[in-house]
Amino acid sequence: MSLAQALFMGLLQGASELFPVSSLGHAVLVPSLLHWSFKQSDPSFVPFLVLLHLGTASALLVLYRQQWVALVRGFFTAAIAGRIRNDSERLAMLLLVGTIPAAILGVFLESRIKSLFASPYVAAGFLMVNGLLMLGFEFLRRRTERGASRTEQEAHFASAERISFRAAAIVGACQALAFIPGISRSGVTIGGGLIAGLRHQEAARFSFLLATPVILGAGLVEVPGLLTSGVPIGEYVAAAVLSGIAAYASARFLLRYFRSGRLDPYGWYCIAAGLISLALLHFNP
């Protein structure tokens, strides 16, 4: 992989990780469509992805730094007291409950699922499925909305701290669907949050907070292997920094967008991107 390709992949990963459009799907599809020669089955590609994910997780930590300080403090005070007394403690426990199913499924199933579906055709197909999911989430959401303006409609829904523990576990488990290239982690968690009764912006915040420990944890355990793997660390770190900057910018944009925006445009984008990718792969293999 050349430096330019590494930087491009970093930008792509960072920008698409938090948008509900599947970063893994794009990471599988774009190199295939551009006829890039590097193989994603190459042993050096995993450390590369690990660093890009660490870049994304770092961006989320920076974005929510004050909240994470409160959440860590809330986790310890609630764990020691054995009871929940405020919103920070409740959100910390919700994130723990949401992270556990994703971590279990990730450790035991991730490599198997990824190897099973690591084909550009499959990624394009599942990108369309992801698009249909986004439209489906919004369809279900609209049936429960009241009020004329978007502000009125959103006002009837809750903040992330009010999601139930059962819903948090289900939304967390849905993250495992993102091991399938084409299915978006943020898409299914934001959609799950909407179904659970959260405001769009709060569903996005819960999704980003939920993603941070999983992405960070998965990345950190790979770092020792990365340092001894002989990969071009300098190039990979540069790509990771670019990934982090892109992730930070996209998170800021999405939080602003979801004040009144919906998932529909991303749903239509995924369906169109999947269709176009399938056509390009078929007619220009």
Summarize as ranges the residues that interact with other proteins (CB under 8 A). 78-80, 82-83, 93, 96, 99-100, 103-104, 107-108, 111, 217-218, 221, 224
Judge whether 12 and 26 are in contact, CB under 8 Å. yes
Shortest Cβ 178–other proteins spacing (Å): 17
Shortest Cβ 103–other proteins spacing (Å): 5
Question: CB-wise, 51 or 93, nearer to other proteins?
Answer: 93
Question: CB-wise, 89 or 154, nearer to other proteins?
Answer: 89
Judge whether 98 and 168 are in contact, CB under 8 Å. yes
Shortest Cβ 213–other proteins spacing (Å): 9
- The residue type found at 140 is L
**CA-to-CA separations, 57 to 47, 61, 62, 64, 209, in angstroms, rounded:** 15, 6, 9, 11, 10
Q: How far apart are CA 138 and CA 152, in angstroms?
A: 16
Q: Which of 68, 162, 77, 178 is nearest to 129 (CA)?
A: 178
Question: CB-wise, 93 or 247, nearer to other proteins?
Answer: 93
Question: CB-wise, 62 or 81, nearer to other proteins?
Answer: 81
Q: Angle at the Cα of 29 (from 245 to 100), degrees rounded to 5?
A: 65
What does the block give as tokens for 219?
């990345």
Judge whether 125 and 274 are in contact, CB under 8 Å. yes
Shortest Cβ 258–other proteins spacing (Å): 29
Q: Which of 39, 30, 32 is nearest to 11 (CA)?
A: 30
Question: CB-wise, 214 or 251, nearer to other proteins?
Answer: 214
Q: How far apart are CA 49 and CA 191, in angstroms?
A: 25
Q: What is the DSSP letter of 138?
A: H
Shortest Cβ 143–other proteins spacing (Å): 32
Shortest Cβ 54–other proteins spacing (Å): 15
End-to-end CA distance of the chain: 21
Question: CB-wise, 82 or 285, nearer to other proteins?
Answer: 82
Shortest Cβ 61–other proteins spacing (Å): 18
Q: What is the DSSP letter of 145?
A: -
Neighbours of 138 (CB within 10 A): 17
Shortest Cβ 104–other proteins spacing (Å): 7
Question: CB-wise, 107 or 155, nearer to other proteins?
Answer: 107
Question: CB-wise, 107 or 227, nearer to other proteins?
Answer: 107
Residues 6+ apart with CB under 8 A from 283: none
